[in-house]
Amino acid sequence: MIVRITGTGSMLPAKQVTNLEISQIVDTSDEWIRERTGIGARYLSTGETVASLATGACEKALEMAGRTAEEVDLILVASCSSEMLLPCSACQVQANIGARRAVAFDLNAACSGFMFALNTAYAYLQAGIYKTALIAGSEVLSKIMDWEDRGTCVLFGDGAGAVVLEADASTNAGRGLIGFVQYSDGSKGEALVCESRALHNPYYSEESKNTYVQMDGREIFKFAARQVPVTIEEVLQKTAIPKEEISYFVLHQANARIIEAIAKRLDMGLEKFPLNLDQVGNMSSASLPVLLDKLQREGRLDRGMKLVLSGFGAGLTYGACVLEW
Ligand code: COA
């Protein structure tokens, strides 16, 4: 069974905030942020939610795929910043778009969330269990940022991206998603954390907690620069595709310097590593599908092109897949 992406969509909040504007909130500068990260601006929610952004992205992806919401069997929303603990964002999306037949649930693997959700949906479709899936990565990270911590709040942005993934038995379907690898290393989890609210019940009360993102930036930088190239080489070897055949390496947009380090280790030209973090910052699970949608809508993806997608982040989690567009 061929399983391929047939539509992409994205939705960003209405408000874009430049580095200059951020420098009026915390002690930083456009120069520092650009030099260290490649980020020039990001979108921040002024009321948009994980569910509303995911809904917008999913509607656009369905439209591109030429599918109706009623045709969707499975909705997965990857997020680490949902405003609702219950119900999950995927069920809210299901209700918003009217996908009555779909089973819907969320998946949290931080910045690898979309990658892992895509792989999960692929496994369902490959097994013949479902035929049409909607997969979104959606974040309102500004809600979990400490706006007094210049080491983190300048890096992240809000937004959502989505794809339609379909099982296709036709002869001209191409190869679609060819293979993936994915890993978790919980022993290094303390490098990037965000605690939930403290436990208070009739029998136990915790101290109040820091419920904002706390990060060891250098540790994350080293992990990504070291581990991602190894993971990409592994998926290429597993799928027997030479790296020279890859048109684009679509990587999680955390930091332009991380991406440069990965390109160097893979010995591939930077022109094969598209970037959008200059405009959107790090949107965690939304990064990959938003960039994919941008490439598609700019006409840069042709049928038959081979792509590598790779995500990495808190957990620690990381993975990569190879697909034919
Ligand atoms: N503006 C100005 N100065 C800042 C700053 C900011 N926004 N943030 C930190 N600094 C300062 C620090 O306080 C420190 O000052 P000091 O030397 O006086 O103590 C100095 O800059 C260097 O800090 P450091 O943390 O060593 O900088 P760095 O070169 O490692 O860059 C990151 C910091 C966060 C940009 C970098 O480590 C990084 O991108 N890591 C990966 C993070 C990531 O991508 N996370 C998400 C993964 S999904």
Average of per-residue pLDDT across 101-123: 97
Query: What share of residues in the chain are helix, strand, coil (percent, to 5)?
Result: 40, 25, 35
**Ligand 1 contacts CB of residue 221 (under 6 A):** yes
Task: Give the residue, out of 221, 257, 318, with the most ligand 1 atoms within 8 A of its beta carbon, to mutate for a pocket test.
Answer: 221
- List the one residue out of 317, 315, 296 whose CA is nearest residue 307: 296
The dihedral sign for the CA sequence 50, 52, 57, 62: positive
pLDDT at 247: 98
pLDDT at 208: 86
User: Is residue 170 very low, low, confident or very high in pLDDT (cuts 50, 70, 90)?
Assistant: confident
Domains of the chain are 2-168 (3.40.47.10), 176-324 (3.40.47.10)
Task: Give the residue, out of 218, 252, 284, 316, with the most ligand 1 atoms within 8 A of its beta carbon, to mutate for a pocket test.
Answer: 218
CA of 71 from ligand 1 middle (Å) equals 46
**Contact yes or no for 105/74 (Cβ under 8 A):** no
Which atom of ligand 1 lies closest to the CA of 252? 48
On the question of pLDDT at 298 being above 80, the answer is yes
308 in helix, strand or coil?
A: strand
CA of 28 from ligand 1 middle (Å) equals 10
On the question of pLDDT at 171 being above 80, the answer is no
pLDDT at 260: 97
pLDDT per position as a tens digit, 266-293: 999 999 999 999 999 999 999 999 999 9
The catalytic residue positions are 111, 252, 282
Rounded Cα gap, residues 134 and 300, in angstroms: 22
307 in helix, strand or coil?
A: strand
Q: How many CB atoms lie under 10 A from the CB of residue 195?
A: 13
**Contact yes or no for 248/263 (Cβ under 8 A):** no
pLDDT at 263: 98
CA of 314 from ligand 1 middle (Å) equals 17
On the question of pLDDT at 299 being above 80, the answer is yes
pLDDT per position as a tens digit, 34-47: 999 999 999 999 99
Average pLDDT, the chain: 97
Q: Which amino acid residue places its CA nearest to atom 7 of ligand 1?
A: 150
Q: How many CB atoms lie under 10 A from the CB of residue 13?
A: 22
Single pTM value for the model: 0.96
pLDDT per position as a tens digit, 204-253: 999 888 999 999 999 999 999 999 999 999 999 999 999 999 999 999 99
User: Is residue 1 very low, low, confident or very high in pLDDT (cuts 50, 70, 90)?
Assistant: confident
CA of 263 from ligand 1 middle (Å) equals 21
On the question of pLDDT at 158 being above 90, the answer is yes
DSSP string over 21-71: HHTTTSS--HHHHHHHH---EEEE-SS--HHHHHHHHHHHHHHHHT--GGG
User: Is residue 151 very low, low, confident or very high in pLDDT (cuts 50, 70, 90)?
Assistant: very high
DSSP string over 265-287: HHT--GGGS---HHHH-B-GGGH
pLDDT at 78: 98
**Ligand 1 contacts CB of residue 37 (under 6 A):** yes
Q: Which amino acid residue places its CA nearest to atom 21 of ligand 1?
A: 151
